[in-house]
Chains A and B, each alone.
Chain A
């Protein structure tokens, strides 16, 4: 139906996450209609980002060199590692400006039903790091869903005998929300994790 090159574009777009065949077609036709320079700028951006990006050898964040900017920053607390599932989680945590330590990206989470075990995520690399560096605290910042909780429990059990303090990010109510709409698990955990208030 389409020319070979257009079909190839649709096929490639269709491999992207969250893009079905219909959307792939729509995006492809959009790209055919826009200015040639705009289309080439997009192609260049993909090429550059892909060619220049690699995984940080220490924390497995996205980086444009062997070691990422966060790992290179000696002003950061070198004794704390925050463990996250994906690089985008680092971005979310950095936006809070609450955290000044280092990170470790697992590049996934344990998902038994998808057959994802510890060998498929970067748990071994975390253990190696903890053996080499002088880490005092590991903060488990995986997603608060069944897979993320299982991942956190698994890692905390691995670290149980190391003497490193292992903490789990708290579950609580979203600020600005109404209590009555909170689900029971979140509200239960929020109650458990309550803290004293001043004065």
Chain B
């Protein structure tokens, strides 16, 4: 077996046997990693909390055929504020679940890794309201989903921005928006998030556009994943 090193965000864990866990991680250079952590559920495990979801770690792993095995893990960031605040934790769960769903095994995607780390850092330090919506749009754009945002997907007219239908391919004009009406502000946020202008978008606060953008983002993600996110459905933490 060969050893490899990587930095990784822990996305999710499952119990395995008496005291082990399987962890799903997003590695900077390895893409999605699935690895066994032996003995991690014992209170005296040398891994301790390091491989809990949401941790950013520096890893040393044995490459396996199906599952890798974690040899060593060191903490880079804990995201402690996020762990201890229900609102942040809800958002973190959505971010981690969405990432775990779109990331592919053994397909290196350093750009996705950088996006996730950056978003988790912003969540930890500032927790801006627009974070979840804009993250999901940027995530979709990284996966190659670029809805048409300048002209109506039905008639090609660029005169009015009145609606949005992700499944149909993007923006709708006044005439073709039917029941799928959206505010021009939300469409602008989506458009800028897709382009990666997160810094500006994240400044928007106390506006109905925040939840509108988030709802549209979650609907789009549902179309892509062909199911809704569990962490949203169980909505344990929020409100």
Residues of A within 8 A of B (CB): 18, 110-118, 144-146, 149-150, 153-154, 157, 174, 176-177, 181-186, 188
**Does A112 contact B234, Cβ atoms closer than 8 Å?**
yes
The segment out of B39-47, B61-69, B194-202 that lies at the interface is B39-47
26 contacts between A and B (CB under 8 A): A18-B17, A110-B237, A112-B93, A112-B237, A116-B236, A117-B235, A117-B236, A145-B49, A146-B53, A149-B83, A149-B84, A153-B84, A153-B85, A154-B86, A154-B236, A174-B43, A174-B44, A182-B48, A183-B47, A183-B50, A183-B75, A184-B49, A184-B50, A185-B48, A185-B52, A185-B78
Other A-B contacts than A153-B85, A174-B43, A185-B49, 12 sampled, CB-CB below 8 A, are: A112-B231, A117-B234, A118-B236, A150-B237, A153-B84, A153-B89, A181-B48, A183-B48, A183-B49, A183-B50, A184-B75, A185-B52
Q: How far is the CA of A111 from the CA of B93 in the complex (A)?
A: 10
Q: How far is the CA of A146 from the CA of B44 in the complex (A)?
A: 18
How many residues belonging to B are interface residues under a CB distance threshold of 8 Å? Answer: 34
B12 in the interface, Cβ–Cβ < 8 Å?
yes
- Residue-wise, chain B 82-98 has the 8 Å CB interface mask toward A (1 for contact) of 01111001100100110
Minimum distance in angstroms from B66 CB to a CB of chain A: 13
B230 in the interface, Cβ–Cβ < 8 Å?
yes
Q: How far is the CA of A184 from the CA of B58 in the complex (A)?
A: 14
Nearest opposing residue in chain A for B86, CB measure: A153
Q: How far is the CA of A145 from the CA of B13 in the complex (A)?
A: 11
Closest 8 CB pairs of A and B: A183-B48, A112-B231, A117-B234, A115-B230, A185-B49, A112-B93, A117-B236, A110-B236
List which B174-220 residues lie within 8 A (CB) of chain A. none
**Does A146 contact B83, Cβ atoms closer than 8 Å?**
yes
**Does A177 contact B44, Cβ atoms closer than 8 Å?**
yes
Minimum distance in angstroms from A21 CB to a CB of chain B: 15
**Does A113 contact B12, Cβ atoms closer than 8 Å?**
yes
**Does B44 contact A115, Cβ atoms closer than 8 Å?**
no
**Does B80 contact A185, Cβ atoms closer than 8 Å?**
yes
Residues of chain A with a CB closer than 8 A to B235's CB: 117
Residues of chain B with a CB closer than 8 A to A114's CB: 230
Q: How far is the CA of A181 from the CA of B144 in the complex (A)?
A: 43
Q: How far is the CA of A144 from the CA of B48 in the complex (A)?
A: 10
Given A146-B53, A177-B44, A185-B49: A115 and B83 interface contact (C-beta under 8 Å): no
Nearest opposing residue in chain B for A187, CB measure: B48
**Does A115 contact B48, Cβ atoms closer than 8 Å?**
no
Please pick, from A157, A174, A181, A186, the residue contacting B86 in the complex, using a CB distance under 8 A. Answer: A157
**Does B46 contact A181, Cβ atoms closer than 8 Å?**
yes
Q: How far is the CA of A183 from the CA of B90 in the complex (A)?
A: 24
Q: How far is the CA of A116 from the CA of B89 in the complex (A)?
A: 15
Residues of chain B with a CB closer than 8 A to A145's CB: 49, 52
**Does A186 contact B49, Cβ atoms closer than 8 Å?**
yes
**Does B236 contact A112, Cβ atoms closer than 8 Å?**
yes
Minimum distance in angstroms from A94 CB to a CB of chain B: 17
